[in-house]
Amino acid sequence: MTKGQIILGILLFALATAVLYVWGLRKSMSQSADMGRLLLSRCGSRVVKYLKHHDTITKQETAKLIDGVTAGEFWSRKRLTVQEPKKFAGQVLAFLTEQQYLEPVDKDTYRLKK
């Protein structure tokens, strides 16, 4: 091996290390936001599945349905769990209404959008 090949190998190794470091840093910085979206999605899917068999759902029923739901990324030990379902139920219903899955019937009653 020549000196040029050794230097090129070291530079390529340093470049690959820097790229992996930046990728991991960005993943860790956005992890909490990603897990929050994942938890909203999991709770939302439970509500939509419930509404496929029932006509309407209230905020209290949503709170019971999403109590204890857990979300986490497969490569991480960190998990998010719904600990205050009454507060989070409003966020889930607002998210599903914003995504046009639900439509409000009354003040606290929702149904699937047709």
**Domain total in the chain:** 1
Q: Is pLDDT above 80 for 76?
A: no
Decide if 3 is inside a domain: no
Q: Note whether residue 7 is domain-resident.
A: no
Report the C-alpha gap between 64 and 57 in whole angstroms.
Answer: 11
In a domain? residue 2: no
Residue 10 confidence (pLDDT): 94
Q: Which residues of 63-90 are buried (b: 16+ CB within 10 A; e: fewer)?
A: bebbbebebbeeeeeeebebeebeebbe
Report pTM.
Answer: 0.74
Is 41 within the bounds of a domain? yes
In a domain, 8, yes or no: no
Is 4 inside any structural domain?
no
H or E, element range at 103: strand 102-104
Q: Which domain holds residue 61?
A: 31-112
Report whether pLDDT(8) > 90.
yes
For residue 65, the model assigns a pLDDT of 93
CATH of the domain at 47: 1.10.10.10
